[in-house]
Amino acid sequence: MTKNETIERNITLTFDFLRQVVNDPSIIDDIPNGSTIEFVQKDLPIAEEHIPHRAKTSTRYLKVNHQFEHIKS
């Protein structure tokens, strides 16, 4: 994936996520203010061992299915 394709994908996912938050604001209840959100494609899972380390830096992962799903760390 090129840099421009990655940027376009992230912008698209951000707007899709915002639409879902407008429809169901409870999705952000478990995401602390100031956190960084990273979108994880269901076809490109992240290694589980990286989640606790990254969570310390207030990074929250959202798996992209048909809806966004918060990955608890």
**pTM (2 decimals)?**
0.62
For residue range 29-71, list pLDDT tens digits in order.
888 888 888 877 666 555 544 455 444 557 777 776 666 777 7
Taking the domains of the chain in order of start, what are their residue ranges?
3-70
For residue range 6-34, list pLDDT tens digits in order.
889 889 888 988 988 998 899 888 888 88
Q: Classify each residue of 2-36 as buried b or exposed e, where b means 16 or more C-beta atoms within 10 Å of its C-beta.
A: eeeeeeeeeeebeeebeebeeeeeebbeeeeeeee
